[in-house]
Amino acid sequence: MEIKILGTGCPKCKTLEKLTRDVVEQNSIDATIIKVEDIMEIMKFGVMTTPALVVNGKVEIKGRVPSADEIKQILTK
């Protein structure tokens, strides 16, 4: 599984990255987490508001920080 955290480094982006890493670690999910900070790369996903969570190339969440439970549901479905 490839997970991308899209964000330029704002507090919300850092929170989403930390939550995602925690969920992956706590649930032993086999995933590669990549932080994408380049605005041109972020725009390729059609994301105008960060942070965003991309799983296997699909934008799952954008513009907000989800709860750890919500991240877990997305990653384990």
CATH code for residues 2-76: 3.40.30.10
pLDDT in the model for residue 77: 85
8 A C-beta contact, residue 61 and residue 50: no
Those residues whose C-beta lies under 8 Å from the C-beta of residue 24, and which sit 6 or more positions away, are: 3, 31, 33, 75
CA 77 to CA 73: how far, in whole Å? 6
The answer, as to whether pTM is greater than 0.85, is yes
Q: Which residues are catalytic?
A: 10, 13
pLDDT in 10s for each residue of the chain, 77 residues: 999 999 998 999 999 999 999 999 999 999 999 999 999 999 999 999 999 999 999 999 999 999 999 999 999 98
User: What are the backbone dihedrals phi and psi of residue 70, each rounded to the nearest 5 degrees, phi first?
Assistant: -65, -40
Structure confidence at residue 27 (pLDDT): 96
Q: Going by C-beta distance under 8 Å and a sequence separation of 6 or more, which residues neighbour residue 14?
A: 7
